[in-house]
């Protein structure tokens, strides 16, 4: 049985004057990830909200965002906005409708799994070619869409 993540959120809250939190997608060591609605565009995004907004944390957040926002490649999510507003820091990115690799692997045939792992290797190779590391590569962070 899949356990629901525990994020702190209010459905009435609009972050950065633009993003309404819809539901919690996951909780990491330093951040929570939500599905959010961009109320200006009517688009759904993933929103990574950092729990600490100290100067050191903000430097790391901005560095991570700038590095990743400049990379567009198959198999990697696109990054949209970085917002630092009072004591809130977050960035938005493409929302992927998919299952974690561990769930996909339980049901997948060998050829399907090899195909997905080939795509993962290609995406990681693209990061490495640009001198970047993923730093949190694990099955839970690899989402497989219905189309594979």
Region 3-7: what's the mean pLDDT? Answer: 64
> Which token pair is 93?
């990115």
Q: What is the distance between the alpha carbons of residues 50 and 47, in angstroms, rounded to a whole number? A: 10
Look at residue 1 in the predicted model and tell me its pLDDT. Answer: 43
| Given the residues 56, 86, 97, 136, the one annotated as active site | 136
Question: Per-residue pLDDT tens for 29-81?
Answer: 888 999 999 999 999 999 999 887 778 888 888 888 888 888 888 899 999 99
Structure tokens at 78: 């696109």
pLDDT band, residue 93 (cuts 50/70/90): very high
136 is catalytic: yes
Residues in the chain: 148
Strand spans (E) along 51-136 = 79-85, 88-93, 98-100
């Amino acid at each position: 049985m899949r356990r629901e993540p525990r994020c702190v959120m209010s459905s009435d809250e609009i972050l950065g004057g633009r993003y309404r939190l819809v539901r919690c997608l996951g909780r990491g060591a330093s951040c929570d990830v939500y599905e959010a609605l961009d109320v200006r565009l009517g688009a759904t995004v993933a929103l990574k909200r950092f729990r600490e907004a100290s100067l050191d944390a903000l430097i790391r957040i901005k560095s991570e965002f700038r590095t990743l926002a400049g990379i567009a490649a198959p198999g990697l999510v696109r990054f949209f906005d970085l917002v630092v507003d009072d004591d809130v820091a977050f960035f938005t990115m493409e929302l992927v409708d998919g299952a974690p690799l561990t769930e996909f692997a339980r049901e997948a045939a060998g050829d399907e799994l090899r195909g997905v792992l080939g795509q993962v290797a290609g995406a990681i190779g693209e990061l490495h070619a640009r001198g970047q590391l993923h730093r949190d590569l694990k099955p839970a962070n690899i989402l497989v869409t219905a189309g594979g």
